[in-house]
Amino acid sequence: MRFLRRFQRGELRLTRIEAFSDGVFAIVVTLLVLELKVPELHDHGSASELGAHLLELFPKFLSWLISFVIVCKFWLNHHHILGLARHADYAMVWLNSIFLMFQSFVPFPTAMMGEYPTNPVAVTGFGVVMAFNTLLFVALQAYILRNLLKPELAGTQDPHFVRKSFVGVGSYLLGAAAAWFSVHLAFALYMLTPLFFIVPPASPAEKAGEATEEA
Amino acid sequence: MRFLRRFQRGELRLTRIEAFSDGVFAIVVTLLVLELKVPELHDHGSASELGAHLLELFPKFLSWLISFVIVCKFWLNHHHILGLARHADYAMVWLNSIFLMFQSFVPFPTAMMGEYPTNPVAVTGFGVVMAFNTLLFVALQAYILRNLLKPELAGTQDPHFVRKSFVGVGSYLLGAAAAWFSVHLAFALYMLTPLFFIVPPASPAEKAGEATEEA
Amino acid sequence: MRFLRRFQRGELRLTRIEAFSDGVFAIVVTLLVLELKVPELHDHGSASELGAHLLELFPKFLSWLISFVIVCKFWLNHHHILGLARHADYAMVWLNSIFLMFQSFVPFPTAMMGEYPTNPVAVTGFGVVMAFNTLLFVALQAYILRNLLKPELAGTQDPHFVRKSFVGVGSYLLGAAAAWFSVHLAFALYMLTPLFFIVPPASPAEKAGEATEEA
Amino acid sequence: MRFLRRFQRGELRLTRIEAFSDGVFAIVVTLLVLELKVPELHDHGSASELGAHLLELFPKFLSWLISFVIVCKFWLNHHHILGLARHADYAMVWLNSIFLMFQSFVPFPTAMMGEYPTNPVAVTGFGVVMAFNTLLFVALQAYILRNLLKPELAGTQDPHFVRKSFVGVGSYLLGAAAAWFSVHLAFALYMLTPLFFIVPPASPAEKAGEATEEA
């Protein structure tokens, strides 16, 4: 207990945590492109040979695009949730670090899926890693909402928020399962899932505002 | 409609968007150099062999230089346009993310053009990617000017700004077309295009000031 | 003497030192994953072949995980100690730069240990580099506590703090020695050591507070 | 003239320029380590084989160390000089970008010198690139001191500052020339040169203060 309490100590400024996190996010999205290797040609000047090789790279382009959108979505929601915290404590720093650890892992399953788009292990692996990343984000989010929420925001957050986040976990796992029947279906699920979370949830107040506007 | 309206929600601080963007820009320009691989020598101590190999790297150096200037130019104009916004909303964050996605893509066509400088597909590809990047930047810029302009700047911006930006799109596409006749002409066009945008546009007020000074 | 005194000159803002350091930390943790290379398959679609290759990557995954936790721990303690400084001088900047130099070195011993987990030189090397990194951090910390501590924090710091940090140095060196008898023991020691420093030390005041709560 | 005047326009906040620059510096120093490749072993478990290969990497370690110290020195002096500016204009942004371009180039000559430490072209190349980087920094520095100096600092800067910076240019070029007679001498000159600039110059006021203390 004494050990656990140590983690709730510390009033860390959020600025450096954000700077460190932004650095990791920025590097992850930029490293993704390193997997796109320039194809080797027999005839350096041949347009048709290079064109054919670029078409073969299509699964890599697609994996890169899917991962980029997913990481940006995580970045945006990370931005949103850290904006709700009044400060950080050590537990939050470590939840954040573990989340970032598996964000920085993303280039590996992305490269694997891009290299072997018809291999169910590769396509499943991508979904499992993304589901695990979502879980880690949910944990960070739940901890902030319960322990570090700015006092003036108390009661404005959707109480079902954390539960809703499991939709993402489920959807990535569904894609991971689908990979064993149809990799195309898995790719489609991976592309669709981030779209549900492309905008952070509105607070009940914002929702009420929207409903009024619409009426 | 309700879905689209969700994107106009959110009042995000610009600081983290700038930090994330600066991170991506900084990594992109620095990764460009990774394409310059140390040549392999038979005689490790031979000055003439290494010298000859370095000369062969000239197209790679040139591609690196052109890309570096273009990305710096995007960074400067990005800096300028974000300075005009009063805050960010989700639509802007996503326009920005998609723009950054294709900025982070730049090392790939740069490497391809450096590797195969006589291949029309490689040289065309570079121009098409740059034209597309310019289009994405124009979209971000137009959105900010229309929806997020600081109230005190209303009316100070050149109304033809967005239209003028299409000059860049056209010039890169001209280079991309030229690549099929003369790769040298294409390289020249790619080098010249960023020079037109090397300085963000003056506001009408600044222009009036300049005219006065000159008179 | 005059030369040494020049280093105590300068009142540098901590913001850029933190930004530079955060950049290095973020890149180091993200580069670690580049060592995880996608395995080459004979049969691109074979799930069992890819699965078997992924299992072989286990030592690399483990090395990556250990290094990630260690670097995050350094980042957190770096964050803590810089928060105690009132400003920076040139001596601190250089102690910080040398510390960052060997942080940025971490991917090399990590890759080596991941590649040759049964080779005592590789496993020893990892421990020696981590012990050296800890020493460099202790030097930075001691300098800040003695010369740059914020006046309002005088007397609140644990006077045995620096001495305690040598526990980490000793523990990594123990792991490095153990590698010659049992690499498994070395791995275990490397995993356990950062856990002792996973939370920066409490000030005596905080400790008194905890004791009271517990009573 | 009108074209040149456009560059003196713009009052850019220094924060994003610093963030972009810090990002580039941080990535450059961290990328340097990527040149240290894990050696390939015939007998994965052989301590003596790995030990022998690590000794062969000594020139690479040395090149890495020299480059790291040089880039950190540039970072510190960059930090110092930007602290003297009241804001940025477009000319400064471009001088800064071109300086950063050749900072980001540093990993290439570093890798080349580490790979071929006995090849005069490789060792000369390193010195020429560093001399050129120093020149670019002098240009940036001279521009800031002449055009953007904070009003309250007028007259406090050493008027011979820019001239003194050419010592660095000369010293790197001397090393570059020495490489044709003795690469060991060249390495020694490259190691010594940054030490002269390891601390930014004192203002005359600070110097007077030191003299008083010493008396």
Report pLDDT for D204: 54
User: By CA distance, what is C45's nearest residue in A?
Assistant: A119
Q: How would residue D32 be classed by pLDDT, with cut points 50, 70 and 90?
A: confident
Residue B44 CA to residue C115 CA, distance in Å, equals 27
Q: Which residue has the higher pLDDT, D199 or A114?
A: A114
CA angle, D57 as apex, D52 and D63 as ends, to 5°? 160
Q: How many helices (H) and strands (E) does chain C have?
A: 10, 0
Mean pLDDT in residue range D169-181:
93
- D117 CB neighbour count, 10 Å cutoff: 21
Residue D80 CA to residue D193 CA, distance in Å, equals 19
Residue A194 CA to residue A130 CA, distance in Å, equals 10
- Put simply, the answer to whether A32 touches B90 (Cβ < 8 Å) is no
A122 contacts in chain C (CB < 8 Å): 50
Which of A2, A7, A19 faces C22 most closely, judged by CB atoms? Answer: A19
What is the enclosing helix (H) or strand (E) of C7? Answer: helix C2-7
> Would you call C19 an interface residue with chain D, using a CB distance cutoff of 8 Å?
yes
Mean pLDDT in residue range D88-94:
89
Residue B211 CA to residue C2 CA, distance in Å, equals 54
pLDDT surpasses 90 at C104: yes
What is the enclosing helix (H) or strand (E) of A81? Answer: helix A58-82
* In chain D, % of residues over pLDDT 70: 86
What is the enclosing helix (H) or strand (E) of C10? Answer: none
Which of A9, A94, A105 faces C202 most closely, judged by CB atoms? Answer: A9
Total residues belonging to chain D: 215
Tokens standing for residue B95:
């326009």
**D27, D136, A64, D108: which is closest to B26 by C-alpha?**
D27
Which of D44, D80, D202 faces C116 most closely, judged by CB atoms? Answer: D44
Return the top range by mean pLDDT from B23-27, B147-151, B172-176, D4-8: B172-176
A200 contacts in chain B (CB < 8 Å): 10, 90
Question: Please, are residues D96 and D10 in contact by the beta-carbon 8 Å criterion?
Answer: no
The interface pTM score, or ipTM, of the predicted complex is 0.86
Which residues have a Cβ under 8 Å from the Cβ of C117 and sit 6 or more positions away? C59, C62, C63, C123, C183, C187
- Cα-based distances in Å from B202 to B76, B207, C178, D90: 14, 6, 67, 12
- Put simply, the answer to whether C199 touches A100 (Cβ < 8 Å) is no
pLDDT surpasses 60 at B207: no
Tokens standing for residue B213:
């000074």
pLDDT surpasses 50 at C214: no
β-strand partners of B88:
B12
Residue-wise burial string across A7-26, b where 16 or more C-beta atoms lie within 10 A, e elsewhere: bebbebebbbbbbbbbbbbb
Q: How would residue D215 be classed by pLDDT, with cut points 50, 70 and 90?
A: very low
Neighbours of chain C (3+ CB pairs under 8 A): A, D
pLDDT surpasses 80 at C207: no
Question: Please, are residues A23 and C25 in contact by the beta-carbon 8 Å criterion?
Answer: yes
Which of B31, B94, B101 faces A198 most closely, judged by CB atoms? Answer: B94
Mean pLDDT in residue range C183-202:
84
Which residues have a Cβ under 8 Å from the Cβ of D72 and sit 6 or more positions away? C94, C97, C101, D29
Tokens standing for residue B109:
């066509």
Best B1, B2, B5, B9 member to test A by mutation, with max A CBs in 10 Å, is B9
Let me know if A203 is exposed, middle or buried by CB neighbors in 10 A (0-12, 13-18, 19+): middle
β-strand partners of A149:
A85
Whole-angstrom distance between the N-terminal and C-terminal Cα of chain A? 52
Residue C82 CA to residue C74 CA, distance in Å, equals 12
Q: Which residue has the higher pLDDT, C21 or C200?
A: C21
Mean pLDDT lowest for which of A153-162, B72-81, C173-182? A153-162
Tokens standing for residue D34:
């990527």
Per-residue pLDDT of chain A (215 residues; tens, 9 = 90+): 555 666 666 667 788 888 889 889 999 988 888 888 889 999 998 999 999 999 999 999 999 999 999 999 999 889 888 988 988 888 899 999 999 999 999 999 999 999 999 999 999 999 999 999 999 999 999 999 888 888 887 777 766 766 777 888 999 999 999 999 999 999 999 998 888 777 776 655 555 555 554 44
pLDDT surpasses 50 at B215: no
Residue A146: helix, strand or coil by DSSP?
helix
pLDDT tens per residue, range C33-66: 888 888 999 999 899 999 999 999 999 999 999 9
Let me know if D41 is exposed, middle or buried by CB neighbors in 10 A (0-12, 13-18, 19+): middle
Residue B190 CA to residue B70 CA, distance in Å, equals 9
How far does CA B122 lie from the centroid of its chain?
18
Residue A106 CA to residue A67 CA, distance in Å, equals 8
pLDDT surpasses 80 at C155: no
Q: Which residue has the higher pLDDT, C215 or D182?
A: D182
- D154 CB neighbour count, 10 Å cutoff: 8
Q: How many helices (H) and strands (E) does chain B have?
A: 10, 0
Let me know if B185 is exposed, middle or buried by CB neighbors in 10 A (0-12, 13-18, 19+): middle
Mean pLDDT lowest for which of A189-193, A196-200, B17-21, D75-79? A196-200
β-strand partners of A12:
A88
- Put simply, the answer to whether B101 touches A65 (Cβ < 8 Å) is yes
Q: Output A39-43 pairs: Cβ under 8 A, ≥24 positions apart.
A: A41/B116, A41/B119
- Put simply, the answer to whether B119 touches A50 (Cβ < 8 Å) is yes
B25 contacts in chain D (CB < 8 Å): 20, 23
Q: Chain D: nearest CA to B80, how far in angstroms?
A: 8
* In chain B, % of residues over pLDDT 70: 86
CA angle, B167 as apex, B166 and B173 as ends, to 5°? 90
Question: Please, are residues D38 and C108 in contact by the beta-carbon 8 Å criterion?
Answer: yes
- Cα-based distances in Å from C201 to A47, C165, C212: 63, 10, 18
pLDDT surpasses 90 at C172: yes
Residue C35 CA to residue C189 CA, distance in Å, equals 22
Total residues belonging to chain B: 215
- Put simply, the answer to whether C38 touches A90 (Cβ < 8 Å) is no
**C13, B123, B105, C44: which is closest to A61 by C-alpha?**
B105
pLDDT surpasses 70 at D173: yes
Residue D8: helix, strand or coil by DSSP?
coil
